[in-house]
């Protein structure tokens, strides 16, 4: 299950999602990139296999691309 950090434009519209394997990796990425932690945003069924943006481990998805 994936964890997401939402990136929004100046109007508050969602423009991208940063994908993580865990809440811990999400929090650590926010600290390292000096961005506000938006709170727990996990347990998502990610549409495809991806890589955690913090630890680079595999994030399972519904489809392997």
Burial of 40 (0-12, 13-18, 19+ CB in 10 A): exposed
On whether residue 65 sits in a domain, the answer given is no
Number of domains the chain is built from: 1
Question: What residues make up the domain containing 28?
Answer: 3-59
Cα-flanking dihedrals φ and ψ of residue 48, to 5°? Answer: -150, 165
Tens-of-pLDDT digits for all 65 residues of the chain?
A: 899 999 999 999 999 999 999 999 999 999 999 999 999 999 999 999 999 999 999 999 998 76
> Got the DSSP string for the chain?
-BEEEEEE-TTS-EEEEEEESSHHHHHHHHHHTT---------B--SB-EE-TTT--EE--SB--
**Spatial separation of the C-alpha atoms in residues 64 and 35, rounded to whole Å:** 30
On whether residue 64 sits in a domain, the answer given is no
């Amino acid at each position: 299950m994936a964890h997401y950090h939402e990136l929004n434009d100046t109007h508050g519209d969602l423009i991208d999602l940063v994908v993580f394997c865990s809440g811990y990796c999400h929090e650590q990425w926010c600290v390292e990139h000096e961005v506000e932690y938006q709170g727990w945003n996990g347990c998502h069924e990610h549409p495809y296999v991806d890589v955690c943006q913090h630890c680079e481990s595999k994030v399972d998805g519904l489809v392997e691309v």
